[in-house]
Amino acid sequence: MSSEGPRRRRGLMLVLSSPSGAGKTTLTRMLTRDDSEVELSVSWTTRPPRQGEIDGVHYYFVTRDAFRAHRAADGFLEWAEVHDNFYGSPRAAVMSALKSGRDVLFDIDWQGAQQLTNSAAADVVKVFILPPSMKDLRARLESRAQDTKEVIKRRLSNAYSEISRWDGYDYVLVNEDLDACYTQLRAIISAERQRRQRQPWLPGFVQTLLKEDT
Ligand code: 5GP
């Protein structure tokens, strides 16, 4: 069912969390490529860009002062300090996407997921991606060769505490095989879109159905 037209549904806030290197960013890319109803929330961050990252596409790369000013002006729907840097989801962009009936995908950590739940529980669907093993996670972090040894070490040690938050999520996927994991993710989204409360046109539709002669 499309989000356009008379049967327009309520957009959902889809949160994807995982420790760095578990495949979340790849899944996010696949989803925004294949599903035109999903829009990625581009976060603000104070961390420096990695090789190949583009300002305004992967993140908005900002100074700590700019981040603090936006936060003080209530410009973030949620924000958190992760790996010694600030990250936040800009409120205005998300609200305008939801208003137009689109789903918004958040690649954010457990702290952000919790804040979104606190402010908009009915609209939030939370998915956690687990690596098949910690050895596998380390191998993935090392093979992407984007971070220094020091950064990889910190991300690995943070992974243990991030994984311990798995039980705050609605769905948990083990990313053993990327394509299988992606199929499961799309099935979750498809089912969540059909929830009764996300289809405000249903009561009117059913009323009309019941008045119809056979
Ligand atoms: P990275 O530096 O690897 O891109 O992201 C580090 C962590 O910060 C990831 O777990 C990512 O999901 C999280 N993150 C990215 N953007 C946001 C955001 O806007 N809010 C929150 N709470 N976490 C974020």
- Find the 105 Cα to ligand 1 centroid distance in Å: 13
Looking at domain 13-194, its CATH superfamily turns out to be: P-loop containing nucleotide triphosphate hydrolases (3.40.50.300)
- Find the 18 Cα to ligand 1 centroid distance in Å: 9
Q: Please state whether 83 falls in left (phi above 0), alpha (psi between -120 and 50) or beta.
A: left
**158-188 tens-digit pLDDT:** 899 999 999 999 999 999 999 999 999 999 9
- Find the 36 Cα to ligand 1 centroid distance in Å: 23
Task: Reply yes or no on whether the pLDDT at 3 is more than 80.
Answer: no
Task: Reply yes or no on whether the pLDDT at 5 is more than 70.
Answer: no
90 and 43 in contact (C-beta within 8 Å)?
A: yes
Q: What is the pTM of this model?
A: 0.90
Give Cα 12 to chain centroid, integer Å.
11
**59-107 tens-digit pLDDT:** 999 999 999 999 999 999 999 998 789 999 999 999 888 888 899 999 9
3-state secondary structure of 174: strand
3-state secondary structure of 95: helix
Q: Where are the domains of the chain?
A: 13-194
| Per-residue pLDDT, 41 | 96
CB atoms within 10 A of CB 106: 23
Between 187 and 4, the higher pLDDT residue: 187
Residue list, ligand 1 pocket, CB within 6 Å? 20, 43, 47, 78-80, 82-83, 87-89, 107-109, 111-112
Paired strand residues for 44? 60, 88
Cβ burial, residue 108 (10 Å; 0-12/13-18/19+): buried
| Per-residue pLDDT, 155 | 86
- Find the 129 Cα to ligand 1 centroid distance in Å: 14
